[in-house]
Amino acid sequence: MCMRARSLTTMSNKLAVVALGSLLWLSAGVAHSGSALAEEVNLYSSRQPFLMKPLLSAFTAETGVKVNMVYLKKGMLERLKTEGRNSPADLILAADIGNLHNHDAAGLLQPVASTVLAHNIPAQYRHPKGHWFGLTVRARVLYASKTRVKAGEISRYEDLAAPGLKGRVCIRSGKHVYNISLLASIIVADGVDGATNWAKGVKANLARKPQGNDRAQVKAVYQGECDVAVGNTYYMGKMATNEKDPVQKKWAQSVNIIFPNQADRGAHVNISGAAVTKSAKNKANAVRLIEYLSGDAAQKIYAERNFEYPVKSGVALHPLVASWGTFKADGAYLSKIAQERTRASKLMDQVLFNN
Ligand code: FE
């Protein structure tokens, strides 16, 4: 499968080409011109090429539908807004319910009805009217120092706000999508007052101002700056197996994963997912691609390459992910949590979380 040769055949005046080293060329193409020769579909993805390339190649091999992918690390929402109905994008792939919800709130998505998707994806992880669909699941967990956090000392998100943890907590920016979704889930569980007190309490317990990414928090635990950090599960896999930057293995070894709230509502989980754009010219192929990504073969690739949990039941976990043990996930629908994100974001400002 040669992505480069295929993409070169789709060049047009509206072409956007992203070169990623010698890995592959990705292009946004000409499906809207009406001159497309082959079946194709145009994808905007904030998920990385290393992850998507094998998935898209497998899809093309099975269906014959060519995928023109534009990798957008940032700025997808602005780009789709600017392009409007002329956007070449048929579908998007993005991580976190926040990003999917923001596209939906901007009116950029359209409903999809698919019995395949309804079967493969639990209702909790998709929009009730098919505006977006979860494809992988990650839990937002606590990374606790193996030496400085006693067994049973911390077992709930709510514990992060308890007085006993003063000066012992690390977390990235309260305004990051991951933390806004987490706070939104706490609004759903504990109400606005409960969530406000939680955010205030966590801020009061911080060892340092919110900074860095999820991995940087685990590094800070390793270095003794704090005793417990908040992060997504797949980073544990990425750190524990990191050959490029082997010191990250030490960060991973210094902590235990605690799945929070196992005796009550369960751990907050989030998704990466897909959605069909309102501007889609190749809607049928876009749906086909999402269906493929929710199926057994693709779910296995996701699980193997990115240490995430498959959204479809019955698909094997990566052995390392399995080694973290089973856990209970918060049963709140992500569509409901998404509704509280705006409030959660304002609440982070109100309590001056990052100051
Ligand atoms: Fe991430």
Residue type, 110: Q
Query: Ligand 1: distance of its center to the CA of 272 in Å?
Result: 10
What is the rounded average pLDDT of the residues 325-343?
97
- Token duo for residue 72: 């957008």
CATH of domain 2-23+37-137+269-316: 3.40.190.10
Query: Ligand 1: distance of its center to the CA of 349 in Å?
Result: 22
Q: Is the pLDDT of residue 333 over 80?
A: yes
Query: Ligand 1: distance of its center to the CA of 252 in Å?
Result: 16
Is residue 51 within 8 Å of residue 94, measured between CB atoms?
no
pLDDT of 38 reads 76
Query: Ligand 1: distance of its center to the CA of 195 in Å?
Result: 23
> In this structure, how many other beta carbons lie within 10 angstroms of the beta carbon of residue 170?
25
Distances (CA, A) of 293 to 6, 191, 343: 21, 35, 32
Query: Ligand 1: distance of its center to the CA of 283 in Å?
Result: 28
Distance CA 225, CA 235 (A): 19
Options 3.40.630.40, 3.90.226.10, 3.40.190.10, 3.20.20.210; CATH for 139-267+331-350 is 3.40.190.10
DSSP string, 94-150: EESHHHHHHHHHTT-B-----HHHHHHS-GGGB-TTSS-EEEEEEEEEEEEETTTS-
The domain limits of the chain are 2-23+37-137+269-316, 139-267+331-350
* Topology alike, domains 2-23+37-137+269-316 and 139-267+331-350: yes
Query: Ligand 1: distance of its center to the CA of 135 in Å?
Result: 15
Query: Ligand 1: distance of its center to the CA of 233 in Å?
Result: 9
- Token duo for residue 178: 């991951």
Q: What pLDDT digit, counting tens, does each position of 31-88 carry?
A: 444 444 579 999 999 999 999 999 999 999 999 999 999 999 999 999 999 999 999 9
Q: What pLDDT digit, counting tens, does each position of 129-146 carry?
A: 999 999 999 999 999 999
- Please choose, from the candidates 76, 79, 197, 220, the residue with its C-alpha nearest in 3D space to the C-alpha of residue 148: 220
Query: pTM of the full predicted structure?
Result: 0.88
Q: Is 4 helix (H, G, I), strand (E, B) or coil?
A: helix
Query: Ligand 1: distance of its center to the CA of 74 in Å?
Result: 13
Query: Ligand 1: distance of its center to the CA of 232 in Å?
Result: 7
Query: Ligand 1: distance of its center to the CA of 303 in Å?
Result: 15
Q: What pLDDT digit, counting tens, does each position of 286-313 carry?
A: 999 999 999 999 999 999 999 999 999 9
Beta bridge partners of 140: 232
Query: Ligand 1: distance of its center to the CA of 104 in Å?
Result: 21
